[in-house]
Amino acid sequence: MMKISIKLGLWFFICIFIIETCSMIYLHRNVVHSLVNEELSSLKARGNSHRDVLEMSFDSTTLHHIGLMESQTDTEVVITNTDGKILETSKSIDDDIEKIISEAIEDIPRNGLILQSDLQEEKYIATVSSFDGGKENQGYVYMFKSKDQIHHFISQLNNHFILAALLILFFMFITIFFLSRALTKPLVSMKEATRKLSNGDFSVSLPVTSNDELGELSKSIQTLANDLNYLKKERNEFLASISHELRTPLTYIKGYADLGRRNDLDETERINYLNIIHEEADHVSVLLKELFELAKMDQNAFSISKERTNICLFLQSIFGKVLPAFKSKGIHLELNCKEAFFVEIDPIRFEQVFLNLLDNALKYSKENTTTSIEVLQENKNIIIFIKDQGKGIPYDDLPYIFDRLYRVDKSRSRLTGGYGLGLAIVKEIVEAHNGEISVDSQDGKGTCFKIVLKEQLNENRFTDR
């Protein structure tokens, strides 16, 4: 498998290399082209100035002077008359020059004509100017420059270009090397993290370095890891609590069964033991039933069939059911629900919600206190408060009371004997209805549970008429 940083770097490299090559070639051609043009026009200008001199004074001394002058430069001159007879040269004439001057030429513009500009094919670049000194004194000034001279220039230029290209490639290589590593580093660490996750190691920590898409991705993976870690921890704690929860009644059952097996027992004692065994077995089966309910809720495998319910009538029937128990413990119970609020709930499930909450209020309150149920409307929401003046929940325990098997009183005494499942069930049901439940409590003073059922009043308005 090719590493992503190498792949990315290679692509960068290829793209930039192609761009660089193209622009280098383009630049090189342009420079060479304008160099040749420059040479040609200076050659032409030189020819023109010779022409001017010849037109002013045409004699052998001037011709000789011109020839002499050119022999000291890197250009050459050939002066002919109109018949093609050579009057003066600065250099011995070779075949290429011969060929050029022997060609017939017509219509030479005043500022000269370019005869040859091709550097590839020919040995010289050449221009011609015609002079007219009156009468017989007419002819042509041919100027030549050997392409070797220009090639020398070009090869120097090439050297510069090659050096520049190499430097650019070098810096490009370094830049790409670091850039592609910097870009792919978070990806690589995320790959590592997910590999760890899939191996069951949830203790990953990804630094959030940027707030672009990569940063988001890394944040999501981190959240996933944290969630998995939390779930794993929760599952372990849950299993530990369950086994503890089951061990206690099973110890009782085993102990009393041992006692009941003894021969020297009278019948009433045996029945007493059997009753205890029966009671404990009941405990276990209730516990298992509730756990099973919760498991079903967790998978969203339990169905809620919502019905339009008058919440006041609904609460009144529950009120009637629990009132005797409250009365016998000497707790005052009241229900405040004035208007006819309609809500969409599953009445069977919600009965369980209120029974669990009222059961807690009853269990954790002393006599001569008040427990109240209140229904309010706020915007489009219906809010139900269940408030008691019981022993309250310590601040440190508040975040956990909706957890499974969580109880403030860790001793799991038989007196207050719950499993710590009631509120977990309440929360699942309320949330399955798209509602929210929260708690407010002061240790020693009382507890208030608040259930918010959202967006209920739209339906009220339509169905009330």
347 binds, among Mg ion, ligand ATP, none (CB under 5 to 8 A by kind): none
409 binds, among Mg ion, ligand ATP, none (CB under 5 to 8 A by kind): ligand ATP
Are 222 and 205 in contact, with CB atoms under 8 Å apart?
yes
Closest separation in Å from C-beta 192 to Mg ion? 45
Taken in order 37, 42, 48, 50, is the CA torsion positive or negative?
A: negative
Region binding ligand ATP by CB under 6 A among candidate stretches 166-174, 308-316, 321-329, 421-429:
421-429
The radius of gyration of the chain's CA atoms, rounded to the nearest angstrom, is: 52
- Give the separation between CA 7 and CA 327, rounded to whole angstroms: 78
Interaction of residue 435 with ligand ATP, rule CB under 6 A: no
By CB under 6 A, how many residues form the interface with ligand ATP? Answer: 22
Give the residue with the Cβ less far from ligand ATP, 96 or 440.
440
- Sites for ligand ATP among residues 345-384 (CB under 6 A): 356, 360-361, 364
Closest separation in Å from C-beta 388 to ligand ATP? 5
- Sites for Mg ion among residues 119-148 (CB under 5 A): none
- Give the separation between CA 358 and CA 373, rounded to whole angstroms: 9
Interaction of residue 422 with ligand ATP, rule CB under 6 A: yes
> How far, rounded to the nearest angstrom, does the alpha carbon of residue 176 sit from its chain's CA centroid?
22
Region binding ligand ATP by CB under 6 A among candidate stretches 11-19, 47-55, 312-320, 415-423:
415-423
Interaction of residue 360 with Mg ion, rule CB under 5 A: yes
- The count of other CB atoms within 10 Å of the CB of residue 266 is 8
Closest separation in Å from C-beta 361 to ligand ATP? 5
Considering only 422, 427, 451, 460, the residue that binds Mg ion (CB under 5 A) is 422
Give the residue with the Cβ less far from ligand ATP, 130 or 389.
389
DSSP-assigned letters across all residues of 355-397:
HHHHHHHHHT--TT-EEEEEEEEETTEEEEEEEE-SS---GGG
Are 88 and 66 in contact, with CB atoms under 8 Å apart?
yes
- Give the separation between CA 127 and CA 36, rounded to whole angstroms: 12
**DSSP state, residue 203:** -
Angle at CA 222, nearest 5°, toward 220 and 223?
65
- Sites for ligand ATP among residues 391-410 (CB under 6 A): 391-393, 401, 406-409
Interaction of residue 246 with ligand ATP, rule CB under 6 A: no
Give the residue with the Cβ less far from ligand ATP, 78 or 401.
401
Six-digit token string for 427: 């929360």
Q: Which residues bind ligand ATP (CB under 6 A)?
A: 356, 360-361, 364, 388, 390-393, 401, 406-409, 418-424, 447
* Residues at the contact surface with Mg ion, assessed by CB under 5 A: 360, 418, 422
